Amino acid sequence: MHIILLGPPGSGKGTQAKNIASEYGFVQLSTGDMLRAAGNSGSKLGLQLKAVMDEGKLVSDEIVIGIVQERIFQNDCAAGYMLDGFPRNLLQAKKLDTMLAGQNQQIDLVIRLCVNDEVVVRRIAGRRFHVASGRSYHVEFNPPENEGKDDLTGEALIQRADDNEDIVKSRLNIYREQTEPLVKYYEEKSILVTIEGMGTPNEIFAKIKVALAQQDRKSVV
């Protein structure tokens, strides 16, 4: 099955993608992770990417499409995958459909997570990370034992440059302008399911499992 997870930054797409991967064995494809890795590579392109992301802007369609196209046709994606953070606009969505059609494939289900802006800002602006290990915390929902310090090493935690409140609000504005039109696009294809993103991760995942089960029944029919 080929799945897209839609939703604003901080809507829980990454968490739910991990849940789906663990439960169903689908490969999680986060363009954010791929771009962040490139941004930290130190290459000329990586430095350009980092500058764009640190300002809360979106990377060009050409770059993102190239990364996704290279990844989705690798062998480990043959049994199914989830796209988290792609497509972001109609151009990317149509390009994705064209790429898949060339391989006799298609998107089977689009899961849209809805969360209001105030909650998104609280979720993202409160995130803190331990650089060396990748361990993550949240000042409100999952605080470290000692403020600003990693629990295991005692080393300082950081806030990503693109996680501050002003940049989060900028990202939400961009999301509304460019990404929300995808809702209509996938509604017209009758593959969109909208899920309320408030509640515990387990509660939200339970709703996602219902949607996946319904899609499985459609596929059988």
Which residues are 127's β-sheet partners?
138
Note if 217 is an active site residue. Answer: no
13, 50, 112, 128: the catalytic one is 13
95, 112, 128, 171: the catalytic one is 171
CA dist., res. 149 & res. 160, Å (int):
15
Residue 129 phi/psi, 5-degree rounding, is: -135, 150
Note if 127 is an active site residue. Answer: yes
For the chain, the DSSP string reads -EEEEE--TTSSHHHHHHHHHHHH-PEEEEHHHHHHHHHTS-SHHHHHHHHHHHTTPPPPHHHHHHHHHHHHTSGGGTT-EEEES---SHHHHHHHHHHHHTTT----EEEEEE--HHHHHHHHHTEEE-TTT--EEETTTB--SSTTB-TTT-PBPB--GGGSHHHHHHHHHHIIIIITHHHHHHHHTT-EEEEE--S-HHHHHHHHHHHHHHHHHHHH-
95, 112, 123, 127: the catalytic one is 127
18, 122, 149, 160: the catalytic one is 160
- At residue 113, what is the residue type? L
50, 88, 112, 128: the catalytic one is 88
Note if 171 is an active site residue. Answer: yes
Note if 71 is an active site residue. Answer: no
Task: Write down the residue that tokens 């999301």 correspond to.
Answer: 175
Residue positions annotated with a catalytic role: 13, 88, 127, 160, 171
